[in-house]
Amino acid sequence: MQTKLNGLPAFCRGGMPNVLHSGGTEAGHAVSAHFQLYREALNLLVSAIMKYGEKAIQKANLEIWDNPFPDRDYTIDISYPEFTCLCPRSGYPDFATMNITYVPDKKVVELKSLKLFLNSFRDKEESHEASTNIIFDALKESLAPRRLDVVGDFNVRGNVKTVIRVSL
């Protein structure tokens, strides 16, 4: 979502031009209010033209279900080979396979909600370490699993390969 607005004037992206903040006059406040309304209308327009997948990703929340076999230890392995996030330094995309392995206790994660949650990183500027740890923390907090491993296996970029492992 943010990347689509980068070419717009600052007031459309959330900031106001400095000239509007300097005067403090009634006219300045009226202009500032005008630009605020313009920005809100533009945001509504952008959300109206968003594709259904973008809307689903924007609203992504992990959906947690009851474990149908809470008295049994079993392992759930999930591989998500299309993970992307943005490098916080360059803005270039980073690609990875996220591997999630857990032994559930009382809760399991619904897979479509997990997919949308992982897709929500595609426009976020997060390092390899941060994105892997954020995913780990969200699953640990939501599921309280008996065991949890999250591995971010990032593709080579700049002749460097990174694998981040976080375990409980």
Residue 72, domain CATH: 3.30.1130.10
Range of the domain at 154: 60-167
75 or 1, higher pLDDT: 75
pLDDT tier for residue 111 given thresholds of 50, 70 and 90: very high
Q: Based on the domain organization, do 108 and 159 belong to the same domain?
A: yes
Do 89 and 147 fall into the same domain? yes
Shared domain for 43 and 119, answered yes or no, is no
pLDDT at 2 over 50: no
- 12, 71, 77, 87: which is the annotated catalytic residue? 87
85 is catalytic: no
Count other C-beta atoms under 10 Å from residue 97's C-beta: 15
* Average pLDDT over the chain, rounded to an integer: 84
CA distance 146 to 121: 26
**Does 9 share its domain with 40?**
yes
Give, in degrees to the nearest 5, the angle at Cα 4 between 91 and 80. Answer: 60
Q: Is 94 a known active-site residue?
A: yes
Same domain, 14 and 97: no
* Whether 37 and 82 share a structural domain: no
For 100-134, b where at least 16 C-beta lie within 10 A, e where not — what string?
bbbbbeeebbeeebbbbbbbbbebeebbbebbbbb
Amino acid 40: pLDDT: 82
Residue 1 has what pLDDT?
Answer: 42
Clarify whether residues 43 and 121 are in a common domain. no
* Dist. CA 118–CA 126, nearest whole Å: 12
**20 vs 37, which has greater pLDDT?**
37
Number of separate domains in the chain: 2
State whether 79 and 160 are in the same domain.
yes
112 pLDDT more than 90? yes
